[in-house]
Structure 1
């Protein structure tokens, strides 16, 4: 008897599963807040060179007419805005008419004034990560994703060996500690260390909670459970937008999010270990206690013969079979395609997220619209996954996202006049990629067997984060003739390639979760490759 058969006897998705499932979804709200908080705490305010100290230059738009005059004669304009990095280097103590009229030599400045109308302060304004140090902002985003990458392998493997709950506890500890450390960091180096730990805990918590939630649910409700997880993620995004709108100081915003996460942690003590994992590790007595508790709360009866040795032996899985993912051509091809899709999706999803601050318009509005687009994508997936299947929905989503991003080429001829086209196609791209990302989590869980599922997801996420690591640098490639459209073109091309490759994966709709490597290999597949 398979574990999925036991879950069906227990009611599939009864009261117990629903209660624990909702509890597991609460940490995912905070995972969204952490991963997307960078849009605000690393926001780039308008800035210009600061005048010498004697001019009392303290506001981006000075009210003092004399200061305003000095700014106008000493700082060049670019696209109707003050230059961000250069000034004329005039002797402002006694500027002559000739000096003002002949000013042409630009000099780099080393002090800046920031506009506080959108952000009171950010990490960028506090550490002056502008001009020659602008790349440091990309480094700060990158190191968060390096934490994602390392955690995907470490926490994924660890939770397969010692249990899902241990992975969650380690992740919570890293997040809460690093959040406080980030808010009170004395320098940029310590900030990078804290952001690494932040990313390490964030993805570890999301991945382990997701697996715990999915292993709890019967086959018939797995799609719904997998997609509702993403809706909770969107709740976190909306909360981020609301908090960021009312809290414009990055340190206060960081602490507010951390306090919310600390409260969520208190609820996790009510979540049991995965009974599926316990049985796969031979810990049947502990699994028996959990399953009987589930049966009692769901008002169902679990037959005693299920726990007899001959039946439990059918459920138990080998201790560790992760290496067998690469033991046959079928599993190698399948794993590589999954890994590549994770790499591309991570790059495109986070790239589009980080690109919110680079496109025209109010960052809070753009962020909220992007979140609404994600919600729409997830809701449509709920209705389509069990009708069209995982593979078709995933592939079509990737193609829609990729084509939308590439379509921004239409805004190149007159980038200022057609900025709305870039915004529209950017949001369409995010729609497709969000849907594909949600499907890929479910798809991957259903393609990897229980004995290597967390390793498979961890390795997928680990390799996927390589794409995420380069995404901040691609998102900040807004220079040259095609300007703001260039990142979207790169993202779109990669998404189309990954979507077409995914057509080689087998469909898993209405199939039981594979318990062993052989089960995974025997999934109905439409490929030209065989053992």
Structure 2
């Protein structure tokens, strides 16, 4: 039986002899093969698995110059915490303005303005005025878009003989039952003008489409910092200015501007957070930002329910967003983007400032290595998504998943509206449930990574959509499909399934936003996010079109089909957990698009033999101690003559995992 010291020395010497050891340690199959080798009764097997997983993460991190620099700056110090907090408030206001349309088109029952009769009967009550001047339907209700034409009679003659000649409304409309001032009674969007409500939605979608492309290009060309400032400026101008519009066409223009600002901030803020944070801190920041987006939807619902006028809604939102002007002085630029643009001096200044906020000192040798590469960075453009075969494949798969998620989410939301659910319930309850849905992603991402987290959330969405195929659609469907069953119970069941479907999709959106940002290279990260956002908007538009044209099970059936296709295609994406961010197109092209390369396909099989050798020796060395395992890491590190020793944070993390694994 080999003692721990000989095992450590042999293992270290073997690793030192391999020139390509660093690349082989990145392979995800090493972790998978070792995870499959779980011998009952051998507690050190789990220790060795965690050791190698941590060792691989450390080596991966060492390959990323910025990961080393950010470790020296402070992985998640005061600077990074402040940066994450700065992304929360605009996320709240983005949701506020994004969903405001749902609360300013409150349904109002109109009647033709027949105030002409008050000239001959000034003391008539509202009910008497309607009874004399508005035609009635066979069921006794007043018609909303017709009126009796005025006649030069006195009041007694009108009461005695009545009026006969009818026409459409001549002098506008009145809304006697209206409790709130909305866009409908402000601009009289009734009696054939209802289609203008759809026009507002189309303009908002058009703004998302154009904004996705424009802000994606701006963020990559001009930087993350100016793109965020432009989007925040748009929220202030178009959000606050909407409260003062004097025509519906001007309202449409301002909504077009708001939609561009919303998608612009989403793209630029995700890019900035992705490039400033490392490891799980990046995932946590993006998840929390999405949680605050849900908080913004809840805030909007509460404020809209209490305010009596639609203009006050935008005034409140505008006042809340004005303090964001201060971001001009406190928001940093991404050092990764600065380096890709050749701005080495600015990148060093930003990193040194972050280190000073965190009360850290960057070693001079690390900072000196931050130099321009010998070859100038190739200028990237949107055409590279077609020229670069690997990037094109990844983008197409991501666009397909984004399209599916958006189409399914809007379809479920519109289906809930068909069931007669109030607008406040449709937004408040799903928003409340989205917060725990997104927080659950933290656990998923830590345990199974990005790729399988996406698969799990998509699988849940498929299950809920399949259940909806067996439930009736609309209130009429409830009565026709199951006439003997209580309609209330069936309706509640359908609403529950729809809510759970939105729950799963909220988690999917969060996982895939993070996943997309990590898959794309820094040089085209924002542009790629803009392109996949185009697919997302296209899915939303298709959902609106199909729901309005085919009120049947077809939209839900398409949800199932698209979700299954997206689930299948997502398996082709590579895992990004514990991997360095892609900086250039060359680095991005080296990422395998297929399933993780098996160890058996390595050129010399040395790493595969190494793993087998570890397994054999590990099973015959039950007395291997934790100290010997740590010596393996340290000896291998020294023999490889790596200029960056294992960081204290990595060893602390390893000790923490060891303690957790041995806890009863």
TM-score range, shorter chain: 0.7 to 0.9
1:147 maps to which of 207, 229, 235 = 207
Q: Which residue of 2 aligns with 1:27?
A: 90
Q: Which residue of 2 aligns with 1:421?
A: 493
1:12 positional shift: 1.5
- The reply on whether 1:503 has 2:587 as its aligned counterpart is no
Q: Which residue of 1 aligns with 2:623?
A: none
Q: Which residue of 2 aligns with 1:103?
A: none
Q: Which residue of 1 aligns with 2:635?
A: none
Measured in 1, the distance between the counterparts of 2:359 and 2:344 equals 22
1:128/1:51 Cα in 2 relative to 1: closer, same or farther (>3 Å)? closer
1:251 positional shift: 0.9
SS of equivalent to 1:121: coil
- The reply on whether 1:383 has 2:443 as its aligned counterpart is yes
Measured in 1, the distance between the counterparts of 2:380 and 2:137 equals 65
- The reply on whether 1:430 has 2:502 as its aligned counterpart is yes
Measured in 2, the distance between the counterparts of 1:130 and 1:352 equals 27
Q: Which residue of 2 aligns with 1:2?
A: 65
Q: Which residue of 1 aligns with 2:585?
A: 517
Cα contact 1:279–1:316 (8 A) shared by 2: no
Measured in 2, the distance between the counterparts of 1:499 and 1:84 equals 51
Note the 1:51-450 alignment, pairs <5 A: 52-53=114-115, 66=128, 74-75=136-137, 93=158, 112-114=173-175, 120-308=180-368, 313=373, 317-320=377-380, 322-350=382-410, 352=412, 358-405=418-465, 407-409=467-469, 410-412=471-473, 413-414=477-478, 417=488, 418-450=490-522
Cα contact 2:335–2:351 (8 A) shared by 1: yes
1:198/1:321 Cα in 2 relative to 1: closer, same or farther (>3 Å)? closer
Structure 2: unaligned runs, 5 residues or longer: 1-63, 119-123, 152-157, 480-486, 598-664
1:241/1:406 Cα in 2 relative to 1: closer, same or farther (>3 Å)? same
SS of equivalent to 2:193: helix
Cα contact 2:136–2:143 (8 A) shared by 1: no
1:406 positional shift: 5.2
1:146 positional shift: 1.3
1:450 positional shift: 0.9
SS of equivalent to 2:528: helix
1:303 positional shift: 1.3
Measured in 2, the distance between the counterparts of 1:284 and 1:258 equals 38
1:526 positional shift: 3.7
Structure 1: unaligned runs, 5 residues or longer: 57-61, 101-105
1:252 positional shift: 0.9
Q: Which has the larger radius of gyration?
A: 2
Measured in 2, the distance between the counterparts of 1:175 and 1:210 equals 17
1:123 positional shift: 1.7
- The reply on whether 1:40 has 2:103 as its aligned counterpart is yes
2:526 maps to which of 446, 454, 473 = 454
Q: Which residue of 1 aligns with 2:75?
A: 12
Q: Which residue of 2 aligns with 1:59?
A: none
Measured in 2, the distance between the counterparts of 1:499 and 1:346 equals 14
Cα contact 2:573–2:593 (8 A) shared by 1: yes
1:73 positional shift: 7.0
Cα contact 1:36–1:353 (8 A) shared by 2: no
1:465 positional shift: 2.0
1:125/1:394 Cα in 2 relative to 1: closer, same or farther (>3 Å)? farther
Measured in 2, the distance between the counterparts of 1:338 and 1:500 equals 12
Measured in 2, the distance between the counterparts of 1:307 and 1:175 equals 38
Cα contact 1:325–1:517 (8 A) shared by 2: no
Cα contact 2:212–2:533 (8 A) shared by 1: yes
Cα contact 1:183–1:255 (8 A) shared by 2: yes
Once the two structures are overlaid, the 10-residue window that deviates more, 26-35 or 415-424, is: 415-424
Cα contact 1:45–1:116 (8 A) shared by 2: no
1:337-390, Cα deviation, whole Å (9 max, x unpaired): 111222333344355556665542332233210101211210111211221222
Measured in 2, the distance between the counterparts of 1:447 and 1:301 equals 31
1:361/1:455 Cα in 2 relative to 1: closer, same or farther (>3 Å)? closer
Measured in 2, the distance between the counterparts of 1:499 and 1:87 equals 53
SS of equivalent to 1:74: coil
Cα contact 1:31–1:236 (8 A) shared by 2: yes
Once the two structures are overlaid, the 10-residue window that deviates more, 140-149 or 462-471, is: 462-471
1:379-431, Cα deviation, whole Å (9 max, x unpaired): 11121122122222223323433443453341244256433233222212211
Once the two structures are overlaid, the 10-residue window that deviates more, 404-413 or 1-10, is: 404-413
1:278-316, Cα deviation, whole Å (9 max, x unpaired): 111111111111111222222332111223257553998
1:245 positional shift: 1.6
1:449-492, Cα deviation, whole Å (9 max, x unpaired): 111111111121133222334444455x3985x4xx77555555
1:88/1:194 Cα in 2 relative to 1: closer, same or farther (>3 Å)? closer
Cα contact 1:76–1:83 (8 A) shared by 2: no
1:336 positional shift: 0.8
Once the two structures are overlaid, the 10-residue window that deviates more, 449-458 or 509-518, is: 509-518
Measured in 1, the distance between the counterparts of 2:132 and 2:555 equals 37
1:46 positional shift: 4.1
Measured in 2, the distance between the counterparts of 1:83 and 1:133 equals 19
Measured in 1, the distance between the counterparts of 2:187 and 2:545 equals 19
Measured in 1, the distance between the counterparts of 2:286 and 2:593 equals 22
Measured in 2, the distance between the counterparts of 1:323 and 1:306 equals 35
